[in-house]
Chain A
Amino acid sequence: MMEAGSGEALTPHRLEYQGEIARLERDTLEGIELVVGALDRALEALAHQDIELAELVVADDDRIDGRYLQIHQGVLSLFARQAPVAGDLRLLAALLHVIRNMERMGDQCVNISKLIPVSGTAPPTDPQILSMMEEMGLAVREIVRQAMKAFQSRDADMAVDLAERDQKVNDLNKAIFRRALEVGNDLELREWAMTMTLAARCLERVGDNAVDIGEQIAFVVTGVFREFADASQAGDSRDR
């Protein structure tokens, strides 16, 4: 039986260090939770042309950006003071990537919110596009939540599965684009459909960022970084 070294427990110093790492991870996951909230609001604002809600998403993005800066500083501080290695090093390096993805996903929610026309009058809509947008929004939301769950449980398989699920999002993105081409001759309707393709593109980017988080999870778990795109790509699945 192998003993833990000289049998000494963690020193208060090391305990504090481990606590700081755990707190940074928790803060990151909470940051992604903020993104999920922003995504929900952006989708609802889009579905109901709710300008006030959209403005809230834009204003609230400062919280996500603030979270980014706070975690970034925390990771750098640990690098400087504690010289993390091995699993700690991989986790902290991954966090630097993940907060970037988190911040980008927040920005995409802002982009979606800014697409909502400020004309004040409800434009004509296309039920087919609306339905696909809703389906896409739900799928993206699930992918982001699955990324969080995979991170929490250090589940590399669940992380790899993100790329599979993202395929559906990419397909919907293309389908919405094709439908927008055929939506008809009504100028207002076409303008609305164009806006929806832009919003769909934003959602598609959120999905990609969630897959990137999955790659970081796999790195934390296995110590090897590889892009999921290559493995999952059948054709050009990841519309970059």
Chain B
Amino acid sequence: MGSRSFSATVTNRGGELSSLDESLPEPTGAEVLPGESVRTSEVMSSLDHHEKGIPTSDAGLGMTIFDCQDVEVFYGSHQAIRDVSLSFGLREVTALIGPSGCGKSTFLRCLNRMNDLIPGAKVGGHVIYHGQDLYAPEIDPVQVRKRIGMVFQKPNPFPKSIYDNVAFGPRVVGMEGDMDEIVERALVRGALWEEVKDRLDENAFGMSGGQQQRLCIARALATDPDVLLMDEPCSALDPISTGRIEDLMSELKERISIVIVTHNMQQAARVSDKTAFFNVELAADEKSRTGVVVEYDATETIFTNPSDKRTEDYVTGKFG
């Protein structure tokens, strides 16, 4: 187990939306832990890749972005996941698959401290992002969520113009440069620019579901993160829109890493380089169920020759 467990109840910081008009809390200081004397602002700005640029040669390939060790999550007394140790590499798409309730989404939410927003949620273990433990006391979860965007099952644009949806993140983190250019770049990367360039001031709610989802992706990309978290991003979309998002993912992979939770196994097989199979295990008390990682391997291996019988049974549809 991780050496540090802590309670992450909702504080008055609130979530991303409610912190809209608040000035961002300053990091608490450098003196928190010996050996970890980096201030949040320094840590997080070191993760700002729009300044130094993300390496696009093959040089960084294989480099680890996320290194998760023995991650566990409790909701109150219920242990939702345990012993999750996974690492994600640069410019890799990783799919998290498994039956309902196996903790895939719970784990995904650990990667940008989304679980902090759930009352009573407790996260243990280590989530190391570029060498920095995201759950270290000096790290501000709001900053984390700003830098590491997540795309959800249901598109959730803000009730604002298309432009403002995309500009929101860059404004909050104080990105420098011409905002029009930043918005255009994000919309181009979100494969939406051509469709919306003439109606940027229209309300985002007027877009189709597939467009709204690409807008959410563009919004998450606007702050130039090097990783994108996706929680069943296509499950509310038709096959055409799904195909667009999948194409978009392969384009984005040229520059960033993606971790995607999906129930669609063919989608996992199509889009991902690596696949982690989660399953539920009965807890020691034999009453509650806890999610664990059964197998983590190259996607091709998982779908042609998995080494664990439970993985085989799941991907071939023998249960779940």
The verdict on A88 contacting chain B, using a C-beta distance below 8 Å, is: yes
Among candidates A5, A84, A86, A224, residue contacting B306 with C-beta atoms closer than 8 Å: A86
Q: Which A5-41 residues have a C-beta within 8 angstroms of B? A: 5-10, 14, 17-18
Asked if residues A85 and B99 are in contact (CB atoms below 8 Å), the reply is: no
Interface pair A6/B316, CB less than 8 Å apart: no
A83 and B266 CA atoms in complex are apart in Å by: 8
Can you list 28 A-B pairs with a CB-CB distance of less than 8 A?
Answer: A1-B282, A3-B281, A3-B289, A4-B310, A4-B313, A4-B319, A4-B320, A5-B98, A5-B279, A5-B314, A5-B319, A5-B320, A6-B280, A7-B319, A9-B319, A10-B317, A85-B315, A86-B302, A86-B303, A86-B304, A86-B305, A86-B311, A86-B312, A86-B315, A87-B312, A87-B316, A90-B304, A224-B305
Is B298 an interface residue, CB under 8 A from the partner?
no
Q: Which of B257-293 contact A (CB under 8 A)?
A: 265-266, 269, 279-282, 289
A-B residue pair count with CB separations less than 8 angstroms: 69
A79-95 Cβ-contact flags toward B at 8 Å (1 or 0): 00001111111100000
User: Is residue B100 within 8 Å, beta carbon to beta carbon, of the partner chain?
Assistant: yes
Q: In the complex, what's the smallest C-beta–C-beta distance from B162 to chain A, in angstroms?
A: 36
**Contact present for A5 and B317 (CB under 8 Å):** no
Question: B307's closest neighbor in chain A, by CB?
Answer: A223
- A59 is an interface residue with CB less than 8 A from chain B: no
Q: Give, as a whole number of angstroms, the nearest-CB distance from B102 to chain A.
A: 7
B271 to A: closest C-beta gap in Å: 14
- Determine if A6 and B101 form an interchain contact, defined as CB atoms under 8 angstroms apart: yes
Sort A-B residue pairs by CB-CB distance and give the 8 closest, nearest first.
Answer: A223-B305, A5-B99, A5-B320, A4-B319, A85-B303, A5-B319, A14-B317, A6-B99
For residue A88, which residue of chain B has the nearest CB? B316
- 8 additional contacts, CB 8 Å, given A4-B313, A14-B318, A84-B316? A2-B310, A5-B102, A6-B101, A85-B269, A85-B303, A85-B316, A87-B312, A88-B316
| Complex CA distance for A83 and B303, rounded to whole angstroms | 11
Contact, CB under 8 Å: B304 / A85: yes
Q: In the docked arrangement, what's the CA distance between A90 and B281, Å?
A: 28
Size class of the contact patch on chain B: 20 to 34
A1 to B284: give the CA distance in the assembly, Å.
9
- A3 and B279 CA atoms in complex are apart in Å by 8
Q: When the two chains form their complex, are residues B320 and A85 in contact, meaning their CB atoms are under 8 A apart?
A: no
Nearest CB in chain A to that of B281: its residue: A2
Most B CB contacts (10 A, CB to CB) among A4, A84, A223 go to: A4
Which residues in B have their C-beta under 8 angstroms from that of A224? 305
**Which residue of B269, B282, B305 contacts A3 across the interface (Cβ within 8 Å)?**
B282
Inter-subunit contact B305/A8 (CB<8 Å): no
Closest A residue to B308 using CB positions? A2
- Using Cβ atoms and an 8 Å threshold, which residues of chain B touch A6? 99-101, 280, 319-320
Residues of A within 8 A of B317 (CB): 10, 14, 17
Write the nearest CB–CB distance from B41 to chain A, whole angstroms: 44
Q: Within 8 Å CB of A87, what residues of B?
A: 312, 316
Nearest-CB distance from A46 to chain B (Å)? 43
Once bound together, how far apart are the Cα atoms of A88 and B310, in whole Å?
14
A5 adjacent to B316 (CB under 8 Å): no
CB contacts under 8 Å to A, within B88-109, are 98-102
Query: What is the bound-complex CA distance between A24 and B211, given in angstroms?
Result: 44
Task: Specify which of B101, B269, B304 lies most central, judged by the most chain A CB atoms within 10 Å of its CB.
Answer: B304
Task: Determine if B280 and A5 form an interchain contact, defined as CB atoms under 8 angstroms apart.
Answer: yes
- Residue in chain B with minimal CB distance to A223: B305
Which residues of A lie under 8 Å from residue B304 when comparing CB positions?
85-86, 89-90, 223
**With a CB–CB cut-off of 8 A, which chain B residues contact A83?**
266
Q: Which residue of B is nearest A82, CB measured?
A: B317
Give which listed residue, B265, B312, B319, contacts A8 with CB less than 8 A.
B319
Q: In the complex, A5 Cα to B311 Cα: how many Å?
A: 10
| Minimum Cβ distance to chain B for residue A35 (Å) | 29
Instruction: Provide the residues of chain A in CB contact with B310, threshold 8 Å.
Output: 2, 4
Chain A positions within 8 Å of B289 at CB level? 3
Interface residues of A in 201-228 (CB under 8 A from B): 223-224
Q: A2-B281, A3-B282 are in contact. Are A90 and B318 (CB under 8 A)?
A: no
Q: How far is the CA of A4 from the CA of B294 in the complex (A)?
A: 12
CB-CB < 8 A to B320: which residues of A?
A: 4-6, 8
CB interface residues, B 221-271, toward A, < 8 Å: 265-266, 269
Which chain B positions have C-beta within 8 A of A5? 98-99, 102, 279-280, 314, 319-320
CA separation between A87 and B266, bound complex, in Å?
A: 16
Contact assessment for A86 and B316 in the assembled complex, using a CB-CB cutoff below 8 Å: yes
Contacts of B313 in A (CB 8 A): 4
Residue of A6, A14, A88, A89 ringed by the most chain B CB atoms within 10 A: A6
Enumerate A58-95 residues with CB–CB distance to B below 8 Å: 83-90
Give the complex CA separation of A8 and B102 in angstroms.
14
Chain A residues near B265 (CB-CB < 8 A):
85
A198 to B266, CA, bound (A): 50
Give the complex CA separation of A8 and B101 in angstroms. 13
Query: What's the least CB distance linking A89 to chain B, in Å?
Result: 6
